[in-house]
Structure 1
């Protein structure tokens, strides 16, 4: 497959595909003129990389699981990421609930609302200051 075809079918830009090759995550099978070519299993490997990236894995972590002919999943790493996602989901749920309360709060001043002040206190303790 030509790199342009791979890009279309994987919904990834050709620059990303070239970068993944540079980082050792994938390999081209050669060139046809100036165009890189790939075997048909490249789409599955790119899907695995995309899944890993969406789960918050680094490219190095993903590369360590991609063997030349198969995949060697680091189950402990995945469990750690799942636990981190659970915590993030809790935080985001609390934030969503706080935003909904603030939007619907009938208090003349949100700082006079006991529920809103409690949410501020929780937010300060749990998350601290936002990162720049």
Structure 2
């Protein structure tokens, strides 16, 4: 079994050694051996790191990501949770698209001032409601 030194794994994955040590500390990945003080990892850990990065990009917490791996490190992706996360991302995309379109309108609005632009005023009202909702 070929092992990767922590430095080699870090370079291949783009994950800093300190993060690799932290992931090991919280049980996300496991080292297979040590060469002196340097951790050695199985090659499959590179795949785990790619899945961890993907999970983080999708907004999953490290705890949620940890639950997506079996004890031996093989992925056990929860399809229903992935569907829910995809639905949440769809909602975020729709909201961001509306925001982008409103900002573009405001940037190009022929009104003398932004405060004279009805769309800008609606955008401000929406932002105020959103902040009030987040504080609850």
Normalised by the size of structure 2, how large is the TM-score?
0.88
Give 1:105 deviation, angstroms. 1.1
1:6-45 mapped onto 2 (5 Å cutoff): 6-45=9-48
Separation of aligned partners in 1, 2:88 and 2:75: 23
Match of 1:96 in 2: 100
C-alpha spacing 1:9/1:56, structure 2 compared with 1 (3 Å): same
1:59–1:70 CA distance, 2 compared to 1 (3 A): same
Q: Report the number of matched residues.
A: 131
Distance 1:130 1:97, change over 3 A: farther
| Deviation beyond 4 Å, 4+ runs, structure 1 | 129-132
User: Superposition pairs for residues 1-132 of structure 1, below 5 Å?
Assistant: 1-67=4-70, 68-125=72-129, 127-129=130-132
Deviation at 1:17, TM superposition (A): 0.6
Rounded to whole Å, the distance in 1 between the matches of 2:115 and 2:73 is 60
Structure 2: gaps spanning 5 or more residues: none
Distance 1:122 1:69 in 2: 44
Aligned to 1:65, the other structure's residue is in SS state coil
Three-state SS of the structure 2 residue aligned to 1:31 is strand
Question: Are the structure 2 counterparts of residues 110 and 66 from structure 1 closer, same or farther at C-alpha, using a change threshold of 3 Å?
Answer: same
Maintained 8 Å contact 2:48/2:73: no
- 1:53 CA drift (Å): 0.7
Q: TM-score, normalised by structure 1?
A: 0.90
